[in-house]
């Protein structure tokens, strides 16, 4: 990473002072002041020579919200407006930008905000989906995008912890995942219980038959990833605006959007990736097809000095137990051992739901840890989050054109497994904008009003 001249000069001054530190007892007060002045003078030419570069460095991290005002060549219109700066919307904006489009990204609260389904600490990325290769292919493709984004970020966005699914009975989906991933060339292992116990003795393997291990997958840092993506989108010339959107009546073509502040935003095409708010924005189309449920995530503090639950010793994991699947991560970046129950919670309204952990959720997590991770039975709760899934009836995504507005695309229904697929979803949106046909499984017509099911 290239350092700005000012940073270099400060570090040079610091190094010089540290060098003198060993002999400071032998300096008189006048010698000390003279030496300090000399050190400051020795760095001044570096700082002066790089003044213009400092100006560039200082202006580079411009806040995304300033971008629309800066890019006056956008005028009052852009090619595409993307509403929603979660993982689906952010990747849609980035992939459309890569296709040469002028894009305005709009969000009511900000990228990866606290109430978004794309907020929070971490998300799992894995490719095991039984025989369902459409998602295995999307996850594999998305992993390369995520790794590329992580490589350009100041802090890691992807941790290659590996992901381990383990089963308490011989499971057909495990065999199907192995077959599908091997056919796709994804590194994967089937591990018998004896091998599991040897590799990860910190887990109690009672009742487990076998596991499926994906060594090249792992954890995505959720909020950080979305914020980084939007920042890079803006730096590359995209525009971002924090605003709440109002829709016009459905009659006629969609040409403009109004903000609650009274602004008019104009574009040729529109993408709506509004997460759990999609049903509120399009009540007649979406409300009966979108099932928003409460989900609780807990972080526990491992014993002091115990590295058995860190990312170098433990993978991301999921205990597939006939619909009551707990999953989690090791203690990544010191945030705690993460655990969550992948079963749909109660229906919620994302605007009114209090984000407080329930006593039942805490008790269930503790009981599970006492059984499967006995060294964490008495671990202290260090953090908890309450978010939501936005489910379709069958767990498939929605990526389709609006039935009345051909120039508008609806994107959502991540169903609790969508975050990892953000880059692939962005590519599918870009294909639709370019005139391509939607994937039949992701169409609005395929979305039932029946009760949603979990997709592991």
pLDDT, tens digit, 9 for 90 and up, residues 115-145: 999 999 999 999 999 999 999 999 999 999 9
What is the pTM for the complete model shown?
0.84
Residue 43: pLDDT above 60? no
Greatest CA separation for the chain: 85
CA distance 398 to 289: 10
Q: Which residue has the tokens 């904008």?
A: 433
CA dihedral 192, 194, 200, 203 (to 10 degrees): 100
Do 362 and 260 contact (CB within 8 A), yes or no? no
Q: Of the given ranges (69-73, 361-365, 397-401), which has the lowest mean pLDDT? A: 69-73
With 0-12 / 13-18 / 19 or more C-beta atoms within 10 angstroms meaning exposed / middle / buried, residue 69 is exposed
Residue 59: pLDDT above 90? no
CB neighbours of 89 closer than 8 A, spacing ≥ 6?
Answer: 82, 83, 105, 107, 271, 273, 274, 411
Band of the pLDDT at 33, cuts 50, 70, 90? Answer: very low
Q: Which residue has the tokens 């497994």?
A: 417
Q: Three-state DSSP class for 319? A: strand
CA distance 415 to 398: 10
With 0-12 / 13-18 / 19 or more C-beta atoms within 10 angstroms meaning exposed / middle / buried, residue 157 is buried
Cβ count near 37 (within 10 Å): 10
Beta bridge partners of 388: 294
Provide the H-helix boundaries in 171-221: 172-184, 193-199
CA distance 452 to 430: 28
Closest by CA to 220, choosing from 143, 115, 140, is: 143
Average pLDDT, the chain: 86
| CA 375 centroid distance within chain | 30
Which of 48-52, 170-174, 180-184, 317-321 shows the highest mean pLDDT? 180-184
Q: Three-state DSSP class for 396? A: coil
CA distance 54 to 108: 33
Closest by CA to 84, choosing from 341, 284, 257, is: 257
* Mean pLDDT of the 333-342 span: 97
Of residues 41 and 284, more confidence is placed in: 284
Which of 165-179, 292-306, 438-452 shows the highest mean pLDDT? 292-306
CA distance 314 to 203: 9
Residue 210: both structure tokens together = 């076998």
The pLDDT score that the predictor gives to residue 453 is 66
Question: End-to-end CA distance of the chain, in Å?
Answer: 40
Residue 75: pLDDT above 70? no
The pLDDT score that the predictor gives to residue 77 is 81
Band of the pLDDT at 321, cuts 50, 70, 90? Answer: confident
Of residues 21 and 439, more confidence is placed in: 439
Closest by CA to 156, choosing from 257, 225, 72, 239, is: 225
> E strands within 90-139?
103-107, 122-125
pLDDT tens-digit series, residues 168-199: 988 888 999 999 999 999 999 999 999 999 99
């Amino acid at each position: 990473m290239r350092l700005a001249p000012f940073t270099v000069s400060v570090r040079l001054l610091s190094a010089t002072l540290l060098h003198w530190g060993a002999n400071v007892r032998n300096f008189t007060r006048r010698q000390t002041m003279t030496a300090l002045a000399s050190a400051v003078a020795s760095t001044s030419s570096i700082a002066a020579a790089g003044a213009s570069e400092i100006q560039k460095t200082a202006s580079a991290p411009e806040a995304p919200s300033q971008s629309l005002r800066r890019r006056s060549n956008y005028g009052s219109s852009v090619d595409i407006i993307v509403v929603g700066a979660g993982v689906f919307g952010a990747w849609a904006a980035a992939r459309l930008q890569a296709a040469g489009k002028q894009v305005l990204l709009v969000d009511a609260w900000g990228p990866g905000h606290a109430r978004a389904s794309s907020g929070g600490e971490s998300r799992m990325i894995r490719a095991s989906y039984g025989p369902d290769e459409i998602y295995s292919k999307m996850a594999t493709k998305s992993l390369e995008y995520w790794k590329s984004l992580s490589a350009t970020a100041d802090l890691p966005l992807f941790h290659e912890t590996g992901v381990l699914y383990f089963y308490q009975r011989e499971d057909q989906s495990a065999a199907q995942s192995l077959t599908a991933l091997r056919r796709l060339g994804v590194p994967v292992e089937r591990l018998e219980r004896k091998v599991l116990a040897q590799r990860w003795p910190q887990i109690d393997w009672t009742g487990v038959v076998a596991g499926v291990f994906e060594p090249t997958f792992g954890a995505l840092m959720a909020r950080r990833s979305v914020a980084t993506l939007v920042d890079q989108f803006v730096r590359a010339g995209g525009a971002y605006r924090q605003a709440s959107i109002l829709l016009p009546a459905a009659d006629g073509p969609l040409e403009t959007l109004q903000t609650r502040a009274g602004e008019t935003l104009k574009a040729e095409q529109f993408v709506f990736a509004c997460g759990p708010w999609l049903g509120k924005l399009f009540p007649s189309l979406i409300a009966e097809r979108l099932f928003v449920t409460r989900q609780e995530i807990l972080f526990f503090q491992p014993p002091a000095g115990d590295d058995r639950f860190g990312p170098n010793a433990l993978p991301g994991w999921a205990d597939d137990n006939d619909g009551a699947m707990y999953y989690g991560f090791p203690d990544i970046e010191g945030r705690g051992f993460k655990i969550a129950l992948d079963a749909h919670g109660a229906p919620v309204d994302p605007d009114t739901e209090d984000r407080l952990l329930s006593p039942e959720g805490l008790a269930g997590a503790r009981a599970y840890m006492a059984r499967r991770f006995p060294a964490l039975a008495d671990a202290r709760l260090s953090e908890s989050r309450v978010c939501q899934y936005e489910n379709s009836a069958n767990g498939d995504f929605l990526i389709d054109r609006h039935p009345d507005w051909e120039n508008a695309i609806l994107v959502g229904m991540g169903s609790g497994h969508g975050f990892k697929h953000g880059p692939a979803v962005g590519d599918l949106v870009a294909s639709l904008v370019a005139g391509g046909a939607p994937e039949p499984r992701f169409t609005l017509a395929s979305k039932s009003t029946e009760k949603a099911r979990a997709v592991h």
